[in-house]
A and B are shown apart, each in its own frame.
Chain A
Amino acid sequence: MSFDLSKTLKDIRQAEATAERFYSSLLKELEDKKVVSNLTHIRNDERNHTKWVQGTIEYAQKKKVPTVTTKVKPAKGIILTPGATNLVITRVEKWFTGISSILKALGGKSIAYMALNRPISILKKNFEETGIDLAKIDFVEIGSENFVRGHAGAASQSLTAISIAVSRAKKPIVIFDNVSVLAIYNPPELAIKFLRSIAEKAAMENFAAIFLITENAVEKPLIDSIKAFADNVMQT
């Protein structure tokens, strides 16, 4: 299937415009100065982005910009020994390329993919477009909305749900994409304790764990703590 540049650019313009409307509507209901100031900044960015993308659509149509697909290369150095814990550090903007390169490296192996904050339907569509074979990947969706729903204890209850899902998965490789969400919704010490317990579970139940984490200031304490018990640390 060939890539449709014009259509994808129009999809981005639509997504940026949707985001602008989302923040504008949200701002009408907020009073907290810190929240209002930060969301106003994002809303204004989205407004600019919509204009930039519109300019890019016009440029691409006028110049008839050709499409040239860059293939994602398989990641090197993942340790798949039963019981091994891998920490893969990536940046938000490079996350998809990072996880795609890992899945390419694991091609043909049985994998349980714990989707902690991304809808599976969208993930699958994007992986398929990248040429990743999904036949042996079991996706388990644990949406991050569950971390905030209803009551203050929802986040820690979700950790229990993840732990049970991991035991049920019974796969030689379990990917956690991505553990950053745990650091957002839980106190750092609880998130670290939980991930250490998953590493111990990997050793007891003979699977290799791959923790994907995005690198920014919020996640830094979590990254440093996982490094202390991970068998392998990689950067994408």
Chain B
Amino acid sequence: MDKQKLLGKLNEALILEEVDIILKIRSVANNTKDRKVLQVMNKLLEDTAGHSEILARLTKYALAEDKNEF
């Protein structure tokens, strides 16, 4: 895959993680006090935030690499 396409896909993934997923999980976490549901939502939030960080690192990696094919 060429660099520009990869960067576009990583950006798409970042929005998918940070907007589509995190906002919905946050919405559930803000609307329940059930311990079991909150436990799952908190784990999902933690993992998804981790994905966001990985995607940011991969974007920087792709930008810094002196090659066009990934």
Contact = CB atoms under 8 A, between A and B. Distances in A.
A126 B59 contact: no
Contact of A218 (B17, B25, B57): B57
Best-surrounded residue of B8, B47, B62 (most CB of chain A within 10 A):
B47
A194 interface: no
A184 B4 contact: no
A65 B23 contact: no
Q: How big is the B interface, by class?
A: 35 or more
Q: Chain B's interface: helix, strand, loop or mixed, by majority?
A: helix
Nearest to B20: A15
B23 A126 contact: yes
Interface of B: 1, 4, 6-9, 11-28, 30-34, 36-37, 40, 43-49, 51-63, 69-70
Interface of A: 3, 5, 8-9, 11-12, 15-16, 18-19, 22-23, 26, 29-32, 34-35, 38-39, 41-42, 45, 49, 52-53, 55-56, 59-60, 63, 65-70, 72, 91-93, 95-97, 117-119, 122, 126, 129, 144-145, 147-150, 180, 184-185, 214, 216-218
